[in-house]
Amino acid sequence: MKHSIQYYADLNMYQLAAEPYFLEWVRCPDDENREFWEAFLAAFPRKKEDVARAAAIAGSMYVKKDRPLPAQQTAMWDRIRAGIDADVVTAAPGGMLYFLRRYAWKAAAVLVLALVASWLVFRQDQRMVQVASAYGEVKQLILPDGTIVVLNGNTSIRYSKSWNAGKPREVWVDGEAFFKVKPLAVNGPQQRFEVHSNEVDVRVLGTSFNVRNRRGVTAVVLNTGKVMVAAADNRQMLLSKPGDMVRYKKGAGNLEKRSVPVKACLSWQQHKLQLDQTSVADLFAMLEDDWGYHIVLKDSSLLHKQISGELDMADKQILIEALAVTLDAKVTQQGTSTIIVMPN
């Protein structure tokens, strides 16, 4: 297909970022498209900044139904709908809808989360310590044995102020936390480390893993080493490979095991959400549970859509725009934490 340099010269950075041929160059560069866009920049040097910004916002997220092949994308995208503006950006029709993110020059929005007050509560209660994180906060702490723990937003952990040699090191978690357990030698054998969360016990020696307990569902993902996961009914399951995950639903009485990408499960530590065909319902649950947002949804059919890609949670404005584009909906913010999603 022949592409016109002049045609792209008339597009702003948002329209440019939505064009199939531009997306092909950003996501799957080859000699042909690389030569075209280099020629474009040589012919229109004034568009250099727009191209840089469009490239920065193009590699983000999309709704995934039946993902088309590159050749099919051109047929599906006859032309991006007119009237793209800064408030609601309309995605092109078809199965693939791309997030249009604002460029880093809007970095002032990052301050929204940076100004969120962090808080840490230490409480003496029968020699117990409790630490909690605020919504949207990622907090790291070191336990008495040297074990490193990273808390996701809206998470609390409780543990003894001091652990006795020869007895298990125990912690209780409500929310989501990543553990890098330090192995200890006590009278020869290593001292066991236990995490208790929503009727699930995780027993380890020296390893790293993630525990998430939200809405009655506990998920344990192994990063390194091995862990034994035990449910309230004494059922047990061994995780021995990175990416092994066990899921337990309170009241269901069973452990479900499958393999997941470790990097995606741990992305929250960098204030990012990496999604792989994640339902909108699950995304909204994470936004509410971890970040303290209240989602008002006017069209429940959107909950069944699946989203893939990466979202940088450090910028609230990007979140609003990304939801609008991905869901092909009007998304507005009310107050500091309410997000209203309405169909276009």
Intervals of CATH 2.60.120.1440 along the chain: 139-264
Strands (E), 68-216: 96-98, 128-132, 139-142, 148-151, 156-160, 169-174, 176-180, 193-197, 200-204, 208-214
**Residues 24-81: pLDDT tens digits?**
888 788 888 889 999 999 999 999 988 887 777 665 555 544 444 444 444 444 443 3
The tokens for 293 are: 């947002």
Kindly report whether the global pTM for this prediction surpasses the value 0.85: no
Q: In this structure, what token pair is assigned to residue 186?
A: 């006590």
Q: How wide is the angle at C-alpha 88 spanned by C-alphas 45 and 59, nearest 5°? A: 50
CATH number of the 268-343 domain: 3.55.50.30
Alpha-helical (H) ranges within 106-229 are: 111-114
Q: Which CATH fold would you assign to the domain 139-264?
A: Jelly Rolls (2.60.120)
Q: Is 289 left (phi over 0), alpha (psi -120 to 50) or beta?
A: alpha
Per residue in 181-207, pLDDT (tens digit) is 988 766 545 578 999 998 899 998 779
From 274, 246, 242, select the one nearest 258 (Cα to Cα). 246
Residues of the chain with CATH 3.55.50.30: 268-343
Average pLDDT estimate for 227-236: 85
CB atoms within 10 A of CB 207: 18
Residue 125 has pLDDT above 50, yes or no: no
Per-residue pLDDT at 254 exceeds 60 = yes
Long-range contacts: 65-69, Cβ < 8 Å, 24+? 65/95, 65/96, 65/305, 65/306, 66/95, 67/95, 67/96, 68/94, 68/95, 68/96
Mean per-residue pLDDT over the chain, rounded: 78
